[in-house]
C-alpha cells in the first residue's frame, strides 16, 4: 500500500498526528539500516520504533503528516549504501502517543526469511583508522563497522544479531559496547565489532600450529575465547614474522574471510614455482593481490570501470590486460600466469590483507588454500591437516568461519546493448560500453539473490558436475550458491552438503520439488535423487545441460514469458544430450517452457572419453581421422613431439569402438585445433588448450574465417580441417591461424542464427556456455550479430560457464511439475 491514501489523524499537542506501520524487506540487516532509521527519525521529529525480525525490518512511526511523508520517502532515497530495499509497504494505524523513537530488540518469526548481505571489503573509514597511530584500533586486523566486514561467512541464524554469529563468543569491552549501543556511532549494532582488548587475535605457527600447553590443534575460536586466551605472540610480532617469511620466499597459509589462502611473493619466480609444485597446479594462473589501485596500474591496464570494480565493496579478482615488465625489479613473475596476456588482480579486502601487503611491500600471490580440485580449507585444524604439505607457516586467527567462500572472479568486456566498438579484426561498430562478465560468483556477490521474472515456488536445483553451484528459489528470488567446485571427490561433496544446509536454514526454504541434470550418473544427480527420496518429494525433474544454460541466460536478463522464444546458442565443453551423446555445440529455438535442438556441430569421436579432455592431441587425431580422407591425412603430425605412430593407435581404438563416445562439443573443437596447431597438447586445468589458443590469437594480423558447411541441421567441419592442414603445410603463422579459427566460429554462430531467423523470424539470441568465457570470441561474435539486427542476451549476474547452470535448472519448464 503506497502513500496515496487518507491519513488517519488525531490531535496531539495541537498538531495533527498520523501513524504508519512500515514493513521493509531486502538486504536491510547488517548494513546499518536501523541506526539510519533512528537518526532519520531524530532529524524529522518522528516517534515510534524500529526492529529486526526474521523477515526484514518493521517500523512503527508517527508524526505530523508532512514529516512522516518525508520520513517514508527518505527510507528509500537515503538508505545506507549497502542496503537494498526489495519492498516497502506502509499501512495506516492509530497513533499510540509515542514520545520518542527507539530501536527495539529483534524478533524471531517462524517461517519468515530475509535477504542477507555478502561479506564486504574494508571501508575507507575503517582503513583510515587502521593506519592511524592515534586510533585505538591502529593495526588491529579485525577492524570493521556497519559498512564493512564479515557478514554471510559468520552468520549462523537470523535475525542478524551478534548472538547468531560466530562473534558471539567475544564479549564486548566497555568501549566497544558504548559504540555498539550508540545510534549515532558508525558501529551501532555492527555485529562483528571488536578491538584489540575484546576481539579475535592472530598468531603465526611455523609447525604444529599451537605451542604445547596452550591449546590443542583444532580448538575453535569459541573455545579460545571462552578461556580468555592470550595470543601466542603480539600482533606486531606475528606480522613481523609473516613479513620475513614472505620476503624470504616462503609460502604462508592465511586464514581469511571465507577460508584459508596461500600466499607467496609474486615477484619471486622460485617461490611461485614452489607453490605450483606443492599445490599440484603446474599451469593454471594464480591471482595476485596488490596494495593499492596505483600498484594495480603499474602491473596492468586499468580502465575507470575496472578501477571501480577493484575498489568496490565486493572487491573481486578482476582479469586485466598485463603491461610490459618494469625495470625496478618488482615485476610480477611470468610464472604467475603462463602463456597469458592477462593477470587476475585484486586489492586487499580485509584489514589483515591491508597490513600484510603494506608490511611486505610487494605484490602477493593470493590463491585458494587447497590442493587442486579440493574445496578451500576453512577451520584451523582442517588447514593444518590439509595444507601442511604446502605451507611453510600458518597465520591463524580465532574468529570461526561459518560458511566457506572463495574469491569471486570477474572481468569487463566491451559488450553491451550499444555494441562493442572496434573488434580485433578491425570491424567497426557503434560506441562500446563495458559489461560485467561473472566468471566465478562467490565472496562479495553470493548470497545476493537473482530476481526472477516470475515465481516458480520453492525449488532446489542440484546443479552440474563441474564448477558446481546449487540454487534454491523462494518467492521471486533465486538464491544461487557460492562457487562449490567440481563434484568429483568426497571433500567437495561435504562442502556442497554443508553449504546446502546453510542456505536451507537461513532462507527458511522447504523445497516443493527438485531439479537436476539429465545425466543419470553424475554426483549432483545422484544427490538430487536421494534428497527427493529422503524428503518425500517426487522424483527430480531432469533438465538437459545446455537447455539449462540458455534458460539461465534468459533469467539472468529478466526475460519474461511474455517476450516469447529466442534463438539460444550454447557453446560448451560437456553436457549429456537427449540421445546419450556428449553435446556442446548447440543452437536451440524456444524458451523456458521448451527448447528444440535446431542445429548442432556434427558429432565426432572422443577416444578415451574424459581422458581425451586432458590430452587434446587425442581429440585432434580423432577429428582428423574422422574428417580427412586417408590419402590426405598428414604423414607426420607434430603434437608437441608426440610420435606420429599415435595416429595409428587412435585409429585402432575408434575402429574397435572401445570407449569412444560421440561429441558435438565446441569446447572439444577448440581443444583439437589448439593441439593441431601445436599450441597445447596436454592440459593440467580445464580449458587450458582453448585459453592458450585465444591468447596467441591476440597477436595476429589475419582474421579471415576458414570455410565450413551447414547441411540441414548439422554444421560440417571437414572444410575447416582441410583448410587448417593447408595453412600448416604452407607454413602459416600460428597466431594468424588461431585468429582465423576464432573468426570462423564467430561467422558460424552468425550464419546459423541467420538461417534460424529465416525459419522462425526470431531476433533475440541468448549466448551461454563456457566457450563464451573466451573474450576474443565474444568480441567477434556479438557485434556481428548486432550488426545483423539481432538482440543479443549475455550473462551478467551469474557465469556463462557451468556456474550458472543451476539457475537455469530452476526456471526451465517450471509448469511441467505443478
Q: Which cell numbers hold the place of 721?
A: 580441417
- What are the distances in angstroms from CA 368 to CA 255, 398, 505? 10, 19, 26
Angle, nearest 10°, between helix axes 666-676 and 718-729? 20
What is the structure's pLDDT at 637?
Answer: 56
**pLDDT tens digit string along 444-489?**
999 999 999 999 999 999 999 999 999 999 988 999 999 999 999 9
> What's the whole-number mean pLDDT along residues 497-525?
95
pLDDT at 417: 36
Residues 6+ apart with CB under 8 A from 153: 119, 257, 258, 401, 402, 403, 404, 405, 443
Mean pLDDT along residues 90-102: 94
Predicted confidence (pLDDT) at residue 702 exceeds the cutoff of 90: yes
Judged on CB neighbours under 10 Å (0-12, 13-18, 19+), 421 is middle
Asked if 587 and 598 count as a contact pair (C-beta separation under 8 A), the reply is: yes
CA distance 572 to 537: 31
Whether the predicted pLDDT of 639 surpasses 80: no
Beta bridge partners of 60: 21, 49
- pLDDT tens-digit profile of 347-387? 999 999 999 999 999 999 999 999 877 899 999 999 999 99
Alpha carbon distance 531, 157 (integer Å): 23
Averaged pLDDT for residues 323-343: 84
Span 526-532, average pLDDT: 97
Backbone angles phi, psi at 324, to 5 degrees: -60, 160
Please report the pLDDT score of residue 329 as a whole number.
53
What's the chain's average pLDDT? 89
Task: Give tens-digit pLDDT for 213-250.
Answer: 333 334 444 444 443 434 444 899 999 999 999 999 99
pLDDT of residue 428: 41
Least confident of 50-59, 268-277, 344-353, 714-723: 50-59
pLDDT score for 635: 58
> Cα(593)–Cα(768) distance, rounded to whole angstroms?
18
Distances (CA, A) of 221 to 211, 235, 752: 16, 17, 58
pLDDT of residue 330: 64
Question: Residue for cell digits 524428503?
Answer: 535
pLDDT value at residue 418: 29
The number of beta carbons lying within 10 Å of the beta carbon of residue 448 is 20
Residue 138, H or E segment: none
Instruction: Check residue 227 and give its pLDDT.
Output: 38
Which residue is it, cell 487518507?
6
Predicted confidence at residue 655, as pLDDT, reads 82
The pLDDT of residue 422 is: 38
Q: What is the pLDDT confidence band of residue 713, given thresholds at 50, 70 and 90? A: very high
Helix, strand or coil, per DSSP, at residue 452:
coil
Average pLDDT on 607-630 reads 89
- Rounded Cα–Cα distance for residues 206 and 200 (Å): 20
Q: What is the separation of C-alpha 663 from the centre of its chain, rounded to a whole number of angstroms?
A: 28
d(CA 475, CA 454): 9
Q: What is d(CA 257, CA 243) in angstroms, rounded to the nearest whole number?
A: 20
pLDDT at 1 over 60: no
The percent helix, strand, coil of the chain (3-state, each to 5) is 35, 20, 45
User: In this predicted model, what pLDDT tens digit does every residue of 646-696 receive, in sequence order?
Assistant: 667 777 888 888 889 999 999 999 999 999 999 998 999 999 999 999 999
Q: At what angle do helices 65-77 and 33-44 cross, to 10 degrees?
A: 150
pLDDT at 414: 58
**pTM given for the model:** 0.90
Is beta strand 393-397 parallel, antiparallel or unpaired with respect to 202-205? antiparallel
Q: Count CB neighbours of 313 within 10 A.
A: 17
**601-610 average pLDDT score:** 92
Report the SS3 class of residue 325: coil
Q: Which residue has the cell 551469474?
A: 798
Question: Beta strands 342-346 and 10-12: pairing type?
Answer: unpaired
Residues 293 and 605: their CA atoms lie apart, in Å, by: 48
Amino acid at each position: 500500500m503506497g502513500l496515496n491514501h487518507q491519513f488517519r489523524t488525531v490531535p496531539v499537542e495541537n498538531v495533527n498526528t498520523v501513524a504508519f506501520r512500515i514493513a521493509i524487506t531486502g538486504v536491510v540487516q547488517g548494513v546499518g539500516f536501523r541506526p539510519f532509521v533512528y537518526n532519520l527519525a531524530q532529524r524529522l521529529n518522528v516517534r515510534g520504533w524500529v526492529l529486526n525480525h526474521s523477515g526484514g525490518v518493521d517500523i512503527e512511526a508517527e508524526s505530523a503528516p508532512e514529516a512522516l511523508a518525508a520520513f517514508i520517502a527518505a527510507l528509500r532515497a537515503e538508505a545506507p549504501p549497502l542496503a537494498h530495499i526489495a519492498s516497502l509497504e506502509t499501512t495506516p494505524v492509530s497513533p499510540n502517543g509515542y514520545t520518542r523513537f527507539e530501536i527495539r530488540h529483534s524478533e524471531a518469526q517462524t517461517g519468515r526469511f530475509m535477504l542477507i548481505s555478502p561479506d564486504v571489503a574494508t571501508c575507507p573509514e575503517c582503513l583510515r583508522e587502521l593506519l592511524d597511530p592515534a586510533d585505538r584500533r591502529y593495526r588491529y586486523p579485525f577492524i570493521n563497522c556497519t559498512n564493512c566486514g564479515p557478514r554471510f561467512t559468520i552468520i549462523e541464524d537470523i535475525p542478524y544479531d551478534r548472538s547468531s554469529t560466530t562473534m558471539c563468543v567475544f564479549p564486548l569491552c566497555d568501549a566497544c559496547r558504548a559504540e555498539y549501543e550508540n545510534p549515532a556511532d558508525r558501529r551501532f549494532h555492527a555485529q562483528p565489532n571488536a578491538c584489540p582488548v575484546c576481539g579475535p587475535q592472530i598468531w603465526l605457527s611455523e609447525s604444529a600450529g599451537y605451542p604445547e600447553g596452550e591449546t590443542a590443534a583444532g580448538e575453535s575460536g569459541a573455545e579460545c575465547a571462552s578461556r580468555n586466551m592470550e595470543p601466542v605472540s603480539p600482533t606486531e610480532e606475528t606480522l613481523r614474522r609473516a613479513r620475513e617469511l614472505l620476503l624470504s620466499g616462503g609460502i604462508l597459509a592465511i586464514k581469511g574471510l571465507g577460508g584459508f589462502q596461500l600466499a607467496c611473493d609474486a615477484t619471486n619466480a622460485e617461490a611461485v614455482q614452489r607453490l605450483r609444485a606443492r599445490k599440484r597446479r603446474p599451469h593454471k594462473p594464480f591471482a595476485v593481490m596488490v596494495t593499492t589501485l596505483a600498484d594495480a596500474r603499474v602491473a596492468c591496464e586499468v580502465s575507470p570501470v575496472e578501477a571501480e570494480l577493484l575498489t568496490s565493496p565486493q572487491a573481486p579478482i578482476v582479469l586485466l590486460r598485463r603491461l610490459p615488465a618494469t625495470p625496478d625489479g618488482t615485476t610480477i613473475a611470468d610464472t604467475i600466469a603462463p602463456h597469458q596476456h592477462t593477470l587476475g588482480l585484486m586489492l586487499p579486502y580485509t584489514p589483515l590483507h591491508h597490513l600484510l601487503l603494506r608490511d611486505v611491500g610487494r605484490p602477493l600471490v593470493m590463491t585458494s588454500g587447497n590442493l587442486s580440485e579440493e574445496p578451500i580449507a576453512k577451520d584451523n585444524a582442517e588447514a593444518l591437516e590439509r595444507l601442511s604439505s604446502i605451507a611453510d607457516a600458518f597465520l591463524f586467527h580465532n574468529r570461526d568461519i561459518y560458511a566457506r567462500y572463495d574469491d569471486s572472479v570477474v572481468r569487463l568486456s566491451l559488450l553491451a546493448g550499444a555494441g562493442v566498438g572496434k573488434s580485433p579484426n578491425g570491424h567497426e561498430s557503434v560506441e562500446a560500453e563495458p559489461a560485467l562478465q561473472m566468471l566465478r560468483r562467490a565472496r562479495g556477490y553470493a548470497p545476493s539473490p537473482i530476481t526472477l521474472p516470475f515465481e516458480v515456488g520453492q525449488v532446489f536445483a542440484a546443479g552440474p558436475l563441474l564448477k558446481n553451484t546449487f540454487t534454491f528459489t523462494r518467492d521471486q528470488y533465486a538464491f544461487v550458491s557460492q562457487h562449490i567446485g567440481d563434484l568429483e571427490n568426497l571433500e567437495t561433496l561435504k562442502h556442497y552438503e554443508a553449504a546446502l544446509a546453510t542456505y536451507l536454514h537461513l532462507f527458511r526454504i522447504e523445497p516443493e520439488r527438485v531439479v537436476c541434470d539429465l545425466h543419470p550418473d553424475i554426483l549432483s544427480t545422484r544427490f538430487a535423487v536421494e534428497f527427493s527420496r529422503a524428503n518425500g518429494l517426487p522424483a527430480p525433474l531432469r533438465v538437459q545441460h545446455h537447455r539449462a544454460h540458455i534458460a539461465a541466460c534468459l533469467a539472468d536478463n529478466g526475460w519474461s514469458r511474455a517476450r516469447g522464444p529466442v534463438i539460444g546458442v550454447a557453446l560448451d565443453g560437456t553436457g549429456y544430450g537427449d540421445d546419450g551423446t556428449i553435446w556442446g555445440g548447440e543452437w536451440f529455438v524456444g524458451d523456458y517452457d521448451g527448447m528444440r535442438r535446431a542445429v548442432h556441430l556434427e558429432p565426432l569421436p572422443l577416444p578415451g572419453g574424459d581422458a581425451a579432455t586432458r590430452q587434446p592431441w587425442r581429440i585432434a587425431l580423432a577429428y582428423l581421422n574422422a574428417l580427412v580422407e586417408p590419402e590426405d591425412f598428414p604423414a607426420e603430425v607434430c603434437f608437441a613431439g608426440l610420435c606420429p605412430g599415435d595416429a595409428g593407435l587412435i585409429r585402432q581404438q575408434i575402429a574397435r569402438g572401445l570407449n569412444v563416445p560421440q561429441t558435438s562439443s565446441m569446447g572439444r573443437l577448440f581443444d583439437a585445433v589448439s593441439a593441431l596447431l601445436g599450441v597445447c597438447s596436454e592440459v593440467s586445468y580445464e580449458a587450458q588448450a582453448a585459453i592458450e589458443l585465444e591468447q596467441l590469437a591476440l597477436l595476429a594480423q589475419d582474421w579471415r574465417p576458414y570455410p565450413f558447411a551447414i547441411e540441414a541441421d548439422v554444421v560440417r567441419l571437414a572444410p575447416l580441417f582441410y583448410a587448417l592442414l593447408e595453412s600448416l603445410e604452407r607454413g602459416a603463422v600460428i597466431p594468424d591461424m588461431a585468429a582465423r579459427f576464432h573468426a570462423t566460429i564467430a561467422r558460424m554462430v552468425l550464419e546459423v542464427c541467420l538461417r534460424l531467423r529465416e525459419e522462425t523470424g526470431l531476433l533475440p539470441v541468448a549466448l551461454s556456455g563456457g566457450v563464451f568465457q573466451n573474450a576474443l570470441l565474444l568480441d567477434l561474435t556479438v557485434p556481428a550479430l548486432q550488426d545483423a539486427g539481432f538482440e543479443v542476451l549475455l550473462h551478467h549476474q551469474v557465469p556463462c560457464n557451468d556456474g550458472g547452470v543451476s539457475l537455469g535448472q530452476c526456471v526451465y519448464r517450471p509448469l511441467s511439475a505443478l
